[in-house]
Amino acid sequence: ISYKEWLRTIDVLIVDDLQFLQGKTLQHEFGHTLNSLIDAGRQIIIAADRPPSQQEGIDERIRSRLSGGLCLELKPFDDDLRLRVVQARVSSARKLHPNIDIPSTVISYIASAVKTNGRDLEGAINRLIAHSTLTHTKLTVKSAEAAISDLIRMREPKRVKVEEILKLVSSHYNVSR
């Protein structure tokens, strides 16, 4: 059985960063795979930086197929969700590293300081685990600050470019640039 045939028999397909799916042949095959999975009643989860209708580099048939599904915008984590994510990750880490001690003050600090995204939260916890494991020292808020300082530094706001404005406005009003 070929990879292409096997892929079209899976129960769930999860694709991250759809906007990077480039190439006519690749998109053509991806479209056939989508159709096969949808026709077979399989589950498909696609993540992208914008909705299907705004995916300019993606084949129209793929955009159309994806627009027929449920589209949700994921908002940044709120304080409570960040805290629960950190607590869950620390709980999982304790199963692998029973001797690790991450005090609740450090957990609260990480959840309040790392506001960018889930990957940065995961990275912060991994750094704390590594720091604790390698140095055999008790974690404190001060040592946590040092371990994750690059994750919490003030990031310069993204500058909007004229080209991006043109692209968004022309897409919204369905006119050429």
Give pLDDT tens digits for 81-118.
999 999 999 999 889 888 888 899 999 999 999 988 88
Give pLDDT tens digits for 53-81.
888 889 999 999 898 899 988 888 899 99
Which residues are within 8 A (CB) of 93 and not within 5 positions of it... i.e. 6 or more apart? 100, 102, 125, 129
What pLDDT is attached to residue 56? Answer: 86
Q: What are phi and psi of 9, to 5 degrees?
A: -115, 0
Lowest mean pLDDT among 110-114, 155-159, 164-168: 155-159
Q: Are 110 and 143 contacting, i.e. CB atoms less than 8 angstroms apart?
A: no
Q: What is the mean pLDDT of residues 38-45?
A: 94
Q: Are 111 and 151 contacting, i.e. CB atoms less than 8 angstroms apart?
A: no
